Amino acid sequence: MERKEQTGHICRWMALGIMTAIVIVGCTIVIGLFEWRDRKEIECRNAELHQWRKNVHDLNLHITELSLLGEMVADWDSTDVNEYHSLRLEVDSMLEGIAGICPKEDSDTICRLLAEKEQLLRDIKDAMQDLNATQEKLTAEVPRIVEQNKTESKRLSAMPQQAKPKKRGFFSRLFGKKENAVTTGNRLTQTEKMLTNLNQTVVAKHHQQSRKVVEILDSLGNRNEGINKQLQKVISIADENVDKGIKVRERQIADLEGNYTYYYIGMIGLLILVFFVLFLLVWRFAFKTRKSKEETRKVMLTVTHEMRSPLSAIKDYARKISGLDDATDESKRYADLIVDTSKGLTSMIDSFLVYSKLANGKATVKERPFRMMDIAEQLKMEYEPFAAKKQLELSVNNKADGVVNGDKEKVLTIGRNLLSNAIKYTGKGEIVLSTTYKNGVFMLMVKDTGTGLDDKQQKQIFKEFARLGNAVTQPGFGLGLSIVKNLVSLMKGKIDVSSHQGLGSIFTISLPMAAAEKQNVEPTQYRTKRQDSFTVIAIDDSHV
């Protein structure tokens, strides 16, 4: 009862320890999931920071491209205007994309200045087009005036000249020359007027457009200066924020690794502690169990050894009572029952002593040459009377001949246990004992027509103290087949069982044994003793 309580106690502790280990493993898995989530968040944030840095770099490239395109404003056409406008809109989008790492007012200011710069560039383009138009007008008007002057000169030259008046004096000649000069001068004055008007118009427009271009260039310079300042400010702030964010993420990763490392170490430490406690409990339980078994074994050995002497005395006194001349038949019958019971107890004690020796590893194989035929003959002589008492037929097929090296006493012990079980559990029919020797293997087979065993019972029959359903009413400790198995293992053999319920069982023992010389075998000596109403011939081959 106490042992059951101890077993239940250790089982409860084991269950508690296993549950604790499962909880610790589950917590470790949860911690791992949290670490994975935190790492993913940090990685996403780092990717976002790197994307912002890339956006700032792309913004610089687009601003540079805008500046280069603006430098060629004098050669712009409608396609260039549209390209500049599209590029400026892309820059606006990029500025909106980095709004998370720089003040929105600064990015809005840059967008406004870029829009104003675009308008100024358009104005410069228009002014340059006006200058070009004026130049084209000048280029077209001058040849026209020259051509017109040539045409007029030819026309005047072709007209008939009036007869010169007679010179009537100094004053007449003087007045006549003045008339021709006035005519020619009139023609020259008209051409000069046209050129003068054209020159004044062109010069006025040129001055006007020049002033406009200068004003636009001044405004454009101011816008460029403002754009450069704001852009430098935005880029500086963006780079500073990105660098700061990266440093923060690096610190978070370091803290994350440090914290979760402590968590893992703690979980592993707890798990090791739990297993250590379980190991101590199991070791303590095993130590107590081993100690208890050892003490029990010592007690049982002491008791069994102490019981042998009283049992021998009881048998002797019972025989003496049975041999008295004045003993009645009833007293003789009781005396014989006492002797039989004492022998049964002695056999059980011997079985226990043999098992105890095997279980503690103190049994050894003592190989000596012996005749294989002696095994079957001796077993037949010992157990044929017991089979006859139960009206069973014991058949022997002794086909093993020759001399081998082996432990004869242990082979006999195996055969005795198998035959004892066969006689014990066979109600009617026959028992067959067969021995063969082939290829260095000695085989001993016991076949009966007893109750048989099912598959479940076949797996349990070799266990210590096994008492199956068909053995409850039979005397014994249930050590016979366990002794057989241990002896077979000790001799490096094997045992096979074939059984069916209601049809009987077949036990086959295979033991490796090397052949030996016949001259090394000592002669077998026989002796007999009384066993109830029959005589048992015991073979004493102690030297072998």
- The CATH number of whichever domain residue 529 belongs to comes to 3.30.565.10
Whether 530 and 412 map to the same domain: the answer is: yes
**pLDDT tens-digit map of 172-182:** 544 454 445 44
The reply to whether 353 falls in a domain is: no
The reply to whether 193 falls in a domain is: yes
Name all contacts of 87-92 with Cβ < 8 Å and 24+ positions apart: 87/62, 88/114, 88/115, 88/118, 90/62, 91/59, 91/62, 91/63, 91/66
**pLDDT tens-digit map of 49-81:** 777 777 777 877 877 887 787 777 767 777 888
Q: Which two tokens stand for residue 493?
A: 């053999």
Domain span holding position 126? 9-155+170-266
* 222, burial (CB in 10 Å: exposed 0-12, middle 13-18, buried 19+): middle
CA distance 342 to 339: 5
The pTM of the full predicted model, rounded to 2 decimals, is 0.46
3-state secondary structure of 222: helix
Q: Which two tokens stand for residue 540?
A: 């004493």
Whether 375 and 260 map to the same domain: the answer is: no
Q: Which two tokens stand for residue 76?
A: 């712009």
CA distance 355 to 353: 5
Q: 266, 294, 310: which is the final residue of a domain?
A: 266
Query: What's the number of domains the chain is made of?
Result: 2
**Which of 481, 508, 342, 509 lies closest to 421 in space, CA to CA?**
481
DSSP 464-514: TT---GGGTTS-S-S-HHHHHHHHHHHTT-EEEEEEETTTEEEEEEEEE-E
Whether 250 and 395 map to the same domain: the answer is: no
Under 8 Å between Cβ of 122 and 82: no
The reply to whether 139 falls in a domain is: yes
Query: Per residue of the chain (544 residues), what is the pLDDT tens digit?
Result: 455 666 777 788 888 888 888 988 888 898 888 888 888 887 887 777 777 777 777 877 877 887 787 777 767 777 888 888 888 888 888 777 776 677 777 778 778 887 877 787 777 777 777 767 776 766 676 666 666 666 766 666 666 555 445 455 544 544 454 445 444 555 555 666 666 776 667 667 667 767 776 777 777 777 777 777 777 777 777 777 777 877 887 787 777 777 778 888 888 888 898 888 888 888 888 888 778 777 766 776 677 667 767 777 887 877 887 777 777 778 877 777 787 777 767 766 776 677 676 666 667 788 889 988 989 898 988 888 888 888 888 899 988 888 898 888 889 989 988 998 888 888 888 899 999 999 999 999 999 988 888 777 777 777 766 555 444 445 555 677 888 888 888 888 999 988 888 888 899 999 999 888 776 565 555 444 444 433 333 333 333 3
Under 8 Å between Cβ of 451 and 500: no
From residue 459, how far is each of 7, 480, 505, 525 by CA, in Å?
24, 15, 14, 40
The reply to whether 326 falls in a domain is: no
Whether 86 and 228 map to the same domain: the answer is: yes
The reply to whether 335 falls in a domain is: no
Whether 394 and 260 map to the same domain: the answer is: no
The reply to whether 466 falls in a domain is: yes
The reply to whether 290 falls in a domain is: no
Q: 241, 266, 291: which is the final residue of a domain?
A: 266
Q: 213, 233, 266: which is the final residue of a domain?
A: 266
The reply to whether 350 falls in a domain is: no
